[in-house]
């Protein structure tokens, strides 16, 4: 009998993947956690029935959420990743020579442990206990409330705005992020699909714009995610992503998707997306 795993992206639409086997299935204090081996995407992390990452295309998401903001800031030394329990974002962050400390606050320790075992290509910085890495298992929202004027860049690598990730898409949270950043700091958050989450994008753009003088949305094609087109939003106190110096980006940077040209082109928006964020 064939086994299929379906993520329902809306009540009328689902993405189904044919599965070879289930490698892990369990439940943490926060969510159901599974790792499956699929025919199309290879090993996949699934949380509460939602596809989070896959060996096939994970590098696109992780490179884009990390390198784009880190090359907007001219000298990011102290970086925080909220979420990102699979380890892919922190793997990209520690590649930057300017980064001295890369903190990571993940609410679900089970996601970290499962990723280290079943997704070692993604969690390499976690498995090697990279010297720049400071890992904390805890609530990112609570952590933000307790910190002031500390970080150059904050990366919010969260799940969808349901369950554990719901509180990361609120004006209150963005206020805490603003407070935790240095005077020239900036943050980025994954902000879902411009096709299927338009009302969410309108709201969070308004919330971020009310706090940060510069707000920019950028895009990337990611096959695993709803509609194949994903967006990220930057809130910056000082540095405009459209004016980033791409000459700073090493030509030999260890990436498979991201490069100098992508740093600029990802901010070019289709008209319907411009309407969402204007």
Beta strand extents in the chain (DSSP E only): 3-10, 13-27, 32-38, 42-47, 50-54, 78-83, 101-106, 133-137, 151-157, 181-190, 214-221, 229-236
157: annotated active-site residue: yes
Task: Count Cα atoms within 13 angstroms, Cβ side, for 219.
Answer: 19
Whether the CB-CB separation of 160 and 83 falls below 8 Å is answered with: no
Pairwise CA distance, residues 183 & 1, whole Å: 58
C-alpha gyration radius of the chain: 18
Q: Which of 157, 184, 207, 245 is catalytic?
A: 157
Please, are residues 90 and 77 in contact by the beta-carbon 8 Å criterion?
no
Give the C-alpha distances (Å, rounded to integers) separating 116 from 122, 123, 241, 262: 8, 5, 33, 29
In angstroms, the CA 262 to CA 278 distance is 22
- Tell me the C-alpha distance between 91 and 84, whole Å: 10
For 245, the token pair is: 């110096």
Contact 236, 250 (CB under 8 A): no
Q: What strands lie across the sheet with 214-221, from one edge to the other?
A: 133-137, 101-106, 78-83, 151-157, 181-190, 229-236, 214-221
Catalytic residues: 157
């Amino acid at each position: 009998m064939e086994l299929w795993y379906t993520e329902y992206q809306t009540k009328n639409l689902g993405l189904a993947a044919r599965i070879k086997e289930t490698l892990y299935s369990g439940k943490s204090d926060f969510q159901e956690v599974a790792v499956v081996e699929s025919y199309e995407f290879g090993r996949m992390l699934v949380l509460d029935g939602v596809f989070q990452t896959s060996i096939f295309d994970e590098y696109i998401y992780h490179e884009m959420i990390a390198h784009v903001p880190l090359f907007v800031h001219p000298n990011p030394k102290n970086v925080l990743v909220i979420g990102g329990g699979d380890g892919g974002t922190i793997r990209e962050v520690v590649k930057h020579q300017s980064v001295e400390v890369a903190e990571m606050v993940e609410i679900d320790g089970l996601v970290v442990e499962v990723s280290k075992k079943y997704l070692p290509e993604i969690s390499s910085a976690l498995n090697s206990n990279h010297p720049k890495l400071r890992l904390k298992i805890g609530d990112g929202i609570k952590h933000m409330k307790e910190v002031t004027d500390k970080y150059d860049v904050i990366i919010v690598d969260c799940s969808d705005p349901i369950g554990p990730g719901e509180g990361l898409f609120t004006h209150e949270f963005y206020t805490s992020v603003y407070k935790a950043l240095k005077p020239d700091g900036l943050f980025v958050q994954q902000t879902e699909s411009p096709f299927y989450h338009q009302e969410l994008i309108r709201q969070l753009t308004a919330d971020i714009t009310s706090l940060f003088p510069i707000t920019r949305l950028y895009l990337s094609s990611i096959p695993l995610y709803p509609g194949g087109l994903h967006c990220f939003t930057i809130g910056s106190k000082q540095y405009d992503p459209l004016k980033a110096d791409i000459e700073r980006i090493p030509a030999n940077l260890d990436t498979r998707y991201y490069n100098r040209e992508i740093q600029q082109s990802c901010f070019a928006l289709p008209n319907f997306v411009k309407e969402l964020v204007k």
